[in-house]
Amino acid sequence: MYLYDNFDQTITQQRIGEFRDQVQRRLKGELTEEQFRPLRLMNGLYLQLHAYMLRVAVPYGTLSVVQLHKLADIATKYDRGYAHFTTRQNIQYNWIKLEQMPDLLAELGSVEMHGNQTSGNCIRNVTADQFSGVAGDEIDDPRVASEVIRQWSTFHPEFAWLPRKFKIAVTGAAHDRAAIQFHDIGLQIVRNEASEVGYRVFVGGGMGRTPVIATEVRAFLPKDELLSYLEAILRVYNRYGRRDNMYKARIKILVRELGAEEFIRQVEEEWQASDRALVNLPPAEEDRVRKFFADPPYEKIAVPVAAFEDARKNDKAFARWVATNVHTHKVPGYGAVTISLKPPGGIPGDATDKQMHAVADLAEKYSFSEVRVTHVQNLVLPYVKLADLHAVWQALGKIGFADANIGLVSDIIACPGLDYCALANARSIPIAQQISERFADLDRQHDIGPLQIKISGCINACGHHHAGHIGILGVDKAGVEFYQITLGGAADENAAIGTLIGAGFSGDDILGAVEKVIDTYLELRQSGETFIDAYRRVGAAPFKEKLYGRR
């Protein structure tokens, strides 16, 4: 894992000091809310329905055990004993007091964490594949580029006041687990014909009220040119992005208004004209960063591992959990464990202080003291020996995190919605809870197979509903919560925006509607066909007919 150097440490401490001063001035009335609001947002502090909410950046979803323990302690000391992992691989606290923020930030700073770049019109905290460095299908470790982007973008003076927020995601594998085509910039690490490593660059993806799948602007960018090329994109956006209308301010609109060809031309022109050598990372610096992501001291393990195979044979529940929650590891004898934060009836992405401490303890014992956060609001232990999996699974069972449901119908993304969020139109969490309870039976879930349900409480789409195989969007219909269904979205390399299939459903009817959609799939699926494959074959019509009858 990356460790702060003196420079990182200094700027973080300076910012903590500045914010302490700003909070004190605000509490004394020396700063007005208009003056203070942008300052608190720069530190990740929002006002929600019940209290302030603090969003803490987890760069590319990677946490040390020390950090996770600290996050748990903060939940105990400054919040109400729990926190929420988000679709941007970050963590949010819901009950924060402004007067305690300086001390809280100082505690976060002591473990190299903060809330910078989690709000405001800057380059936001970069996200990446949760299996970075351990996935067998990876060309290169995306954490290296992610860390370089983190350092380059932190407090970048030129990009502190962009037309709108700006999100970058990186994947090192062809199979996209980081939803890169729904980001302002998506980077896929690839090899060219000469087998050199570089980036396939996508620009202008996004969700929100105008969902757009990103445009490929470069099939291959040499690895060493990354920063100058990112800068060229950001410069074109900073110069021409719309500042007059916040709904048209994202780069996706600029790409659309200019046309992809013209946008690319402008970026290339800017890039060619820039002093690339000045901006690009010197190879020695990349090597320095890369060293932080060197493999942990793996053991040489002969496979198959008898204890693991026996446990799988003798314990059906364990075998099922392995099938869904353990990802193939690049190192024989190891697995990457996804810890489900989606128990039946639970709140997707929520974890208590005790659960966080317990996960940190497990990571220390079994996973080289590292934890990852996924954009699907789960956690990952990236380096677990197959021989230890049974013990890990049992330990997770004790804290309610052993559900064998990763990628299945109850592994739902849900944003905080109207239970917490000041911008919401409708509640998201209760809908997720109803669905996960209705489909709690694991036999049924495993029979249904891979299915991604994603729920947002408003059109801002933090719950990624546009990219859900089944997407649910909460809307306000004359003061009453209603839910629209979209079908066929996907966030992977075959990215697709879901299609709205008809009129919305009331809070009482949405569960039944989702169940009808799933039943329809079960009736029409061909052998081995997943939900999304079946939808792509038959389209929306059979689902519509089932939901609304013949028209």
Partner 1 sequence: MAPPKPISKILTANRLTNGETLFYAASGTWSAFVTEAKIVTTQEGVDELTKIGADAYAANQVIDVNVIDATADGDIKPKDIREIIRATGPTVRLDLNKSMSPAGK
- Which residues of the chain form contacts with partner 1 (CB under 8 A)? 26-27, 29, 32-33, 47-52, 80, 94-99, 347, 418-420, 422, 424, 427, 429-430, 433, 479-481
For residue 268, give both structure tokens: 């290339």
**Residue 177 is which amino acid?**
R
> Alpha-carbon distance 320 to 91, whole Å?
29
Q: Which span sits near ligand SF4 by CB under 6 A: 209-217, 263-271, 372-380, 460-468?
A: 460-468
Q: Two tokens at 61? A: 């979803």
Under rule CB under 6 A, residue 417 binds ligand SF4: yes
- CA distances, 29 to each of 40, 228, 326 (Å): 15, 43, 53
CA 199, 203, 207, 208: dihedral to nearest 10 degrees?
150
Q: How far is CA 239 from CA 69, 124, 156, 202, 253, in A?
A: 42, 19, 16, 19, 14
Beta carbon nearer to ligand SF4, 151 or 433: 433
Nearer to ligand SF4, 348 or 457 (CB): 457
114 touches, from partner 1, ligand SF4, none (C-beta below 5 to 8 Å by class): none
**What's the rounded Cα separation, in Å, for the pair 295 and 343?**
32
- Shorter beta-carbon distance to partner 1: residue 419 or 492: 419
Alpha carbons 345 and 98: distance in angstroms, whole number: 32
Largest CA distance in the chain: 68
Closest separation between CB of residue 104 and ligand SF4, Å? Answer: 22
**DSSP string across 497-517:** PPEE-SS-EETTTHHHHHHHH
DSSP class of residue 417 equals G
> To which H or E segment does residue 352 belong?
strand 350-352
CB of 477 to partner 1, least distance (A): 12
Q: Kindly state whether residue 462 participates in binding ligand SF4, applying the rule CB under 6 A.
A: yes
Which CA distances in Å does 366 have to 334, 393, 476? 11, 11, 46
Helix (H) / strand (E) element for 144: namely: helix 142-153
Task: Find the binder of ligand SF4 among 61, 205, 416, 468 (CB under 6 A).
Answer: 416
Q: Which of 221/424 has CB closer to partner 1? A: 424
Q: How far apart are the first and last CA of the chain?
A: 57
Structural tokens at position 231: 């800068």
Q: Please, which residue, 241 or 457, has the CB nearer to partner 1?
A: 457
Q: Which stretch binds ligand SF4 (CB under 6 A): 38-46, 289-297, 384-392, 454-462?
A: 454-462
Among 415, 429, 448, 501, contact with ligand SF4 (rule: CB under 6 A):
415
Distance in Å, CB of 202 to partner 1, minimum:
36
The kind and range of the H/E element at 361 are helix 353-366
Of ligand SF4, partner 1, none, which one does residue 288 interact with (CB within 5 to 8 Å by kind)? none
| Residue closer to partner 1 (CB basis): 99 or 196 | 99
CA distance 165 to 538: 37
- Amino acid of residue 186: G
The number of helix segments (H) and strand segments (E) in the chain equals: 19, 21
Q: Can residue 463 be called a binding residue for ligand SF4 (CB under 6 A)?
A: yes
In the bound complex, what is the minimum distance in angstroms from residue 456's beta carbon to ligand SF4?
A: 4
Beta bridge partners of 380: 338, 372
Nearest distance from C-beta of residue 346 to partner 1, angstroms: 10
> Backbone dihedral region of 92: left (phi > 0), alpha (psi from -120 to 50 degrees) or beta?
beta
Closer Cβ to ligand SF4, 382 or 457, answer by number: 457
Q: Identify what 461 binds: ligand SF4, partner 1, none; CB under 5 to 8 Å per kind.
A: ligand SF4
Q: How far is the CB of 478 from ligand SF4 (least distance, A)?
A: 18
Does 54 bind ligand SF4 (CB under 6 A)? Our answer is no
Residue 417 CB, shortest distance to ligand SF4, in Å, is 5
Reference 225, options 272, 262, 163; nearest CA is 272
Query: Which helix (DSSP H) or strand (DSSP E) does residue 46 occupy?
Result: strand 45-47
Interacting partner of 92 out of ligand SF4, partner 1, none (Cβ under 5 to 8 A depending on kind): none
Residue located via tokens 């060619």: 272
Q: Is 458 in the site for ligand SF4 (CB under 6 A)?
A: yes
44 binds, among partner 1, ligand SF4, none (CB under 5 to 8 A by kind): none
Min CB(152)–partner 1 separation in Å: 34
Contact of residue 463 among ligand SF4, partner 1, none (CB under 5-8 Å per partner type):
ligand SF4
| Residue 286 vs 350, nearer CB to partner 1 | 350
| Residue 370 Ramachandran class (φ > 0 left, ψ -120 to 50 alpha, else beta) | beta
**Of 134-142, 145-153, 442-450, 458-466, which segment contacts ligand SF4 by CB under 6 A?**
458-466
Amino acid of residue 284: A
With CB under 5 to 8 Å by kind, the binding choice for 49 among ligand SF4, partner 1, none is partner 1
Distance between CA atoms of residues 286 and 128, nearest Å: 18
Residue 133 binding partner per list ligand SF4, partner 1, none, with a CB distance cut-off of 5 to 8 Å that depends on partner kind: none
Q: Which does 462 bind (CB under 5 to 8 A by kind): partner 1, ligand SF4, none?
A: ligand SF4
Q: Which is nearer to partner 1, 37 or 156 (CB)?
A: 37
Residue 19 interface partner, choices ligand SF4, partner 1, none, CB cut-off 5-8 Å depending on type: none
Which residues of the chain form contacts with ligand SF4 (CB under 6 A)? 415-417, 421, 423-424, 456-458, 460-463
